[in-house]
Structure 1
Amino acid sequence: MGELRVHNFAISLDGFGTGEGQSADAAFGHAGERIHDWMFATRYWHEMGGVRRGSVGADNAFATMHSSGIGAEIMGAGKFGPPGWQDDPGYKGAWGPNPPFHTPVFVLTHRPRPSVEMAGGTTFHFLDAPPAEALKIALEAAGGQDVRLGGGPSVIRDFVAEGLVDQMHLVQVPILLGRGVRLWDGLEALEEAYHIEAVSTPSGVTHLTFTAKKR
């Protein structure tokens, strides 16, 4: 049976996974892209665009774990598109005709619609389902591989609260956002359920890894 994993999910020092004021022109609200600057500098990021350059240190090593062994993804409505995308029946996500997932992707929304098949092996399915049910469906689609939980912060929080996340890689970025959507609200004592390790890198970020203790 596959596991549920979170990878490369960036948060600010005060725990926000996205800023306030998300829109079609500002996917992460007032946070902008500052929260992902650490990843944009890595070779992993540049090689996705076909360019061989970028850093090859610890940040790159963590970033490359994003896709290994992944057979499906779960994401929230806020990651799939900006507020109001549900009102556009032709909207197909924020990644163009060939999204970077290349697996089935299950979008959690209270307004499901027919599945959308994209180039490169990505098919978006739209589910109105609680976390445990969504995970069961995604694991079946993953065919024995793992499922990646892509975010946003409220979705990750819900799955962690139900004890469904097996591995979680968070990247704490040295900025303060002050407002937006916080990952940690309502969660406490995670150290009782997870082994936690921290690795700081020259870019200024801290990689936090959570591995579920045997249940």
Structure 2
Amino acid sequence: MSKLYVRSFSLSLDGYGAGPDQSIDNPLGVNGMSLHQWAFTTRTFQKMFGQNGGSTGIDDDYAILGFNNIGAWILGRNMFGPLRGPWPDDSWKGWWGDTPPYHCPVFVLTHYARPSIVMEGGTTFHFVTDGIESALERARDAADGKDVRVGGGVSTIKQYMHARLIDELHLAISPVFLGQGENLFADIDLLSLGYKCREHMSTPNATHLIIARDG
């Protein structure tokens, strides 16, 4: 069976995966962009956005890992866009323009139904209203033997962790404090859920942790 992974998920030193006051103009919240500086400079991320150059080395190795053998993604609604409640119309198609960086099926958790959206570059957004397990089942079917990646946000990752469905997480701890926002470690006991740190490696930009679930 395919694995369910979290990859390249950036956190602050105090455990926040996004800053406060997220909005359409500030999608990662106040100071949220600072969490991802380790990734933005890598060759992998520069290539994703059509740029040349970028750094190689440990940070880039972990960025590459994030896309290895991934056949489908799962996102929380907040990762797809800033809208709340019923969809006002079908105009919002994500943060990424006509060609999102996923290039495979993406399953968006929401309480409100919406038709699938076919984008350029192989990405199709599907909207799932019947919970995390249904989204995972559909994602695994769509991945056709490849693995599934949970892209976030914090609430979505925690739901899958509480259900003991995530097999492994790569967390990139950036050397910044946010003070408030969405905290991955609040109200979750990693030890009781069977998660242990299997690998850690540091660069000037981030400390990379691989956290895996036993069994």
Aligned residues: 213
Task: Work out whether residues 22 and 83 of structure 1, in 8 Å CA contact, stay in contact via their aligned partners in 2.
Answer: no
The corresponding residue for 2:202 is 200
Counterpart residue identity of residue 38, structure 2: W
Map 1:161-180; keep pairs closer than 5 Å: 161-180=162-181
Counterpart residue identity of residue 28, structure 2: F
Q: What is the CA RMSD across the aligned residues, in angstroms?
A: 1.5
Map 1:1-215; keep pairs closer than 5 Å: 1-84=1-84, 86-190=87-191, 193-196=194-197, 197-203=199-205, 205-214=206-215
- Gaps of at least 5 residues in structure 1 are none
Mapped partners of 2:180, 2:105: distance in 1: 32
Cα deviation, 1:89-137, whole Å, max 9, x if unaligned, reads 3111111111110111000011120111111111100011222222111
Mapped partners of 1:61, 1:75: distance in 2: 23
Mapped partners of 1:148, 1:189: distance in 2: 19
* C-alpha spacing 1:155/1:82, structure 2 compared with 1 (3 Å): same
* TM-score when normalising by structure 1: 0.94
Mapped partners of 2:191, 2:126: distance in 1: 31
Task: Work out whether residues 162 and 193 of structure 2, in 8 Å CA contact, stay in contact via their aligned partners in 1.
Answer: no
1:73 positional shift: 0.4
* C-alpha spacing 1:39/1:191, structure 2 compared with 1 (3 Å): farther
Mapped partners of 1:147, 1:20: distance in 2: 28
- Gaps of at least 5 residues in structure 2 are none
Q: Which moved more, 1:132-141 or 1:191-200?
A: 191-200
Cα deviation, 1:163-214, whole Å, max 9, x if unaligned, reads 00011101111111111111112211437613312211122x1111112222
Task: Work out whether residues 4 and 166 of structure 1, in 8 Å CA contact, stay in contact via their aligned partners in 2.
Answer: yes
1:78 positional shift: 0.4
1:82 positional shift: 1.4
